[in-house]
């Protein structure tokens, strides 16, 4: 072992200090260290090391007794960290050297053999992939929980009529259940994107060593099996430098956050006094320190705001990798904080959203009144005229004139008399009022993907099956 005095911090012998004559500058040491954040990977670091040691022993590269000592030693280190009884050292730079040094302190020489045929470059890429694989599984479950809350709400409000909007102008009546099922579909794509991304996360870098592979007769398939990876990475240079999986994950997260920001915007509008379509539970809102009347939709606002940092992390990771030559570069250490922050915030947003959506109450009368205004059944009247033999373009023109009268007089279409309506077209008969009702309008859109309550209920049934498939 080299002289500890060669290092800036007494007692912290760096595993790589052999060729160095001068100690690391104290500020540089802190500046280059990652242990403050990558210590979060310790369970995966130890899991990877146990698999690596097991493979080395099976291949006769390491004695079985030494392997047993290493495994027991690593488990003891893990227990100490779990218990909060581990002191992390900045001079030891990162989680990998902290764990390895603690192991060697505990078991002696056998610990020094663990790093045979391995580098921190393939080690760190492995740790991050193992960690992210677990997080993706948890995030997919969290998405499914939110989807389940939406299904419950959609079922309860399958018949609730609200105005549907385009350009944020009243367009046609829809059901609240149908609207919730639109959100469900957006989340279903997010869940699928993450499942797809998981396949490219679950590839094993170990064996790539620093960049070129190793001279020992390793069995990468064995290590991959032990760690539950689908297969080892094909190319050692790519294995240590690839962070596509991190970018892909963050892109999927950014799209998911974009969806949540849209849901949030609608909830914020709907909870306002001007819309008053829904009530958010008091436990998801806060008051104002100056205005006693206020009940602010903080949770959706904060989720909408958090989309910004996740988009930023995606741009940050893309820029991190842009122009990097092969293979590993220290730049890559910068992948972790954006990833960690993305995962933490995404999980927080999904959790709070699932709970909040479970407590949303609908103000059905308000939604109905809003749907009854704004000539939302104008298209239904045009379709009625088409059924009576008038070409759609002419029907559109006729209804436009009826709407103009309604606008002038401040009355909706259903409030015009039959004589007034017949003034626009002789084909209009008293049965027209059935299509001008909100219920008639939504019930008529009775096909796959339409807003009719029967179709919404069928969609909910299919959605339940998709959720159950996992
Ligand atoms: N802390 C480093 C990282 O996160 C570990 C790999 C360091 N490898 C190296 N050759 N310095 O990327």
Residue 179 has pLDDT above 80, yes or no: yes
pLDDT, residue 136, reads 99
pLDDT reported for residue 290: 83
Over residues 447-468, the mean pLDDT reads 98
Query: Tokens for 321?
Result: 């990798």
Mean per-residue pLDDT, 54-75: 98
pLDDT, tens digit, for every residue of 296-347? 999 999 999 999 999 999 999 999 999 999 999 999 999 999 999 999 999 9
> How many A from CA of 68 to the centre of ligand 1?
27
For residue 230, the CA-to-ligand 1 centroid distance in Å is 24
Instruction: Answer yes or no: 288 catalytic.
Output: yes
Domain regions of the chain by residue span: 24-116, 129-213+231-368, 378-436
Percent of the chain with pLDDT over 90: 91
Q: Give the model's pLDDT for residue 277.
A: 98
Of the pLDDT bands very low, low, confident and very high (cuts 50, 70, 90), residue 131 is very high
Residue 428's pLDDT band (cuts 50, 70, 90):
very high
DSSP 8-state class, residue 332? G
Region 174-198: what's the mean pLDDT? Answer: 98
Q: What does the chain come to in residues?
A: 470
**What is the 335 CA–ligand 1 centroid distance (Å)?**
11
Closest ligand 1 atom to 210 CA = 10
Q: What is the pLDDT of residues 259-298, one digit of tens each?
A: 999 999 999 999 999 999 999 998 888 888 888 888 899 9
Task: Ligand 1 pocket test: pick from 94, 95, 128, 211 the residue with the most ligand atoms within 8 Å of its Cβ.
Answer: 94
Residue 270 half-sphere exposure toward CB, CA atoms < 13 A: 24
pLDDT given for residue 4 in this prediction: 37
Q: Would you say 259 and 329 are in contact if contact means Cβ atoms under 8 Å apart? A: no
Domain 24-116 CATH assignment equals 1.10.275.10: yes
Under the banding of pLDDT at 50, 70 and 90, the label for residue 7 is very low
Residue 10 has pLDDT above 80, yes or no: no
8 pLDDT higher than 80: no
User: What's the pLDDT band for 124 if we cut at 50, 70, 90?
Assistant: very high
pLDDT for residue 12 is more than 70 = no
Q: Where are the alpha helices (DSSP H) in 363-452?
A: 364-372, 378-387, 392-409, 418-422, 432-436, 438-444
Domain 378-436 CATH assignment equals 3.40.1410.10? no
Helices assigned H by DSSP within 209-321: 220-227, 236-241, 244-271, 298-321
Q: Which residues contact 104 (CB under 8 A, 6 or more apart)?
A: 111, 112
Rounded to the nearest angstrom, the distance between the alpha carbon of 32 and the centre of ligand 1 is 10
Distance CA 294, CA 23 (A): 59
Q: How confident is the model at residue 6 (pLDDT cuts 50, 70, 90)?
A: very low
**8 Å CB contact between 337 and 37:** yes
Residue in 11, 166, 145, 28 with CA at minimum distance from that of residue 87: 11
- What whole-number percentage of the chain has pLDDT above 70? 97
- Assess whether the C-beta atom of 120 lies below 6 angstroms from ligand 1: yes
First to last CA, the chain: 52
**pLDDT score, position 155:** 98
pLDDT, residue 318, reads 98
| 126 CA from centroid of ligand 1 (Å) | 12
Cβ 34 under 6 angstroms from ligand 1: yes
Q: Name the residue of 34, 39, 212 to mutate for ligand 1: max ligand atoms within 8 A of Cβ.
A: 34
Whether 100 is in the pocket of ligand 1, judged by its Cβ within 6 Å, is no
pLDDT at residue 55 greater than cutoff 90:
yes
Buried/exposed 217-252: b ≥16 CB within 10 Å, e otherwise: ebebeebbbbbebeebbeebebbbbbbebbbbbbbb
What does the pLDDT read at residue 457? Answer: 98
What is the four-CA torsion angle of 274, 279, 280, 283, rounded to 10 degrees?
120
Atom number in ligand 1 closest to CA 94: 1
Q: What is the pLDDT of residues 430-457, one digit of tens each?
A: 999 999 999 999 999 999 999 999 999 9
- Determine whether the shortest distance from the Cβ of 123 to ligand 1 is under 6 A: no
> Which of helix, strand or coil describes residue 305?
helix
Ligand 1 pocket check for 124: Cβ under 6 Å? yes
Active site residue 167: yes
Of residues 204 and 288, the one with the higher pLDDT is 204
pLDDT for residue 1 is more than 90: no
Q: Which of 5, 167, 289, 447 is catalytic?
A: 167
Please check the confidence at residue 186 and state whether its pLDDT lies above 80.
yes
d(CA 187, CA 151): 12
pLDDT of res. 392: 96
Alpha carbon of 187 to ligand 1 centroid (Å): 35
Domain 129-213+231-368 class in CATH: mainly alpha
Query: 378-436: same fold as 129-213+231-368?
Result: no
pLDDT score, position 5: 37
User: Which pLDDT belongs to residue 408?
Assistant: 96
Query: To test ligand 1's pocket by mutation, which of 15, 100, 118, 330 has the most ligand atoms within 8 angstroms of CB?
Result: 330
Active-site residue among 272, 281, 283, 288? 288
Q: Has residue 2 got a pLDDT over 70?
A: no
Per-residue model confidence (pLDDT) at position 291: 86
**pLDDT of residue 156 exceeding 80:** yes
């Amino acid at each position: 072992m080299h002289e500890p005095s060669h290092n800036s911090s007494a007692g912290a012998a760096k595993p790589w200090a052999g060729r160095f004559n001068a100690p690391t500058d104290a500020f540089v040491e802190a500046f280059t260290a990652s242990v403050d954040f990558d210590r979060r990977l310790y369970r995966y670091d130890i899991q990877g090391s146990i698999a690596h040691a097991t493979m080395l022993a099976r291949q006769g590269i390491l004695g079985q007794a030494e392997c047993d000592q290493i495994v027991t030693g690593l488990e003891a280190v893990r227990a100490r960290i779990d218990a909060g009884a581990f002191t992390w050292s900045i001079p030891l730079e990162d989680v990998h050297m902290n764990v390895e040094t603690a192991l060697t302190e505990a078991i002696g020489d056998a610990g020094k053999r663990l790093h045979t045929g391995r580098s921190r470059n393939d080690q760190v890429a492995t740790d991050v992939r193992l960690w992210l694989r677990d997080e993706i599984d948890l995030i997919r479950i969290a998405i499914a929980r939110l989807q389940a809350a939406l299904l419950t709400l959609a079922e309860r409000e399958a018949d609730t009529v609200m105005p549907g909007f385009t350009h944020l102008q009243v367009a046609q009546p829809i059901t609240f259940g149908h609207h919730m099922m639109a959100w469900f579909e957006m989340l279903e794509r997010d869940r699928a994107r993450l499942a797809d991304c998981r396949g490219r996360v679950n590839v094993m870098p170990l064996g790539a060593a620093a960049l070129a592979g190793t001279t020992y007769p390793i069995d990468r398939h064995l290590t991959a099996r032990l760690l539950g990876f689908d297969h080892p990475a094909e190319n050692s240079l790519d294995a240590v430098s690839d962070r596509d999986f991190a970018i892909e994950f963050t892109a999927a997260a950014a799209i998911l956050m974009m969806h949540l920001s849209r849901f949030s915007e609608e909830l914020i509008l709907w909870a306002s006094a001007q819309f008053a379509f829904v009530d958010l539970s008091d436990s998801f809102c806060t008051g104002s320190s100056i205005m006693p009347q206020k009940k602010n939709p903080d949770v959706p606002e904060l989720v909408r705001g958090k989309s910004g940092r996740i988009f930023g992390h995606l741009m940050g990771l893309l820029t991190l990798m842009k122009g990097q030559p092969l293979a590993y570069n220290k730049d890559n250490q910068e992948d972790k904080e954006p990833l960690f922050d993305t995962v933490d915030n995404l999980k927080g947003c999904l959790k709070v959203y699932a709970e909040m959506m479970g407590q949303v109450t609908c103000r059905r009368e308000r939604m109905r009144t809003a749907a009854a205004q704004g000539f939302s059944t104008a298209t239904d009247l045009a379709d009625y005229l088409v059924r009576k033999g008038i070409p759609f373009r002419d029907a559109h023109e006729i209804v436009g004139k009826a709407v103009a009268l309604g606008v002038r007089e401040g009355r909706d279409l259903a409030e015009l008399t039959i004589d007034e309506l017949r003034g626009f077209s002789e084909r209009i008969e008293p049965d027209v009022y059935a299509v001008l009702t909100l219920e008639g309008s939504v019930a008529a859109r009775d096909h796959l993907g339409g807003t009719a309550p029967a179709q919404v209920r069928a969609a909910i049934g299919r959605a339940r099956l998709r959720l159950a498939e996992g």
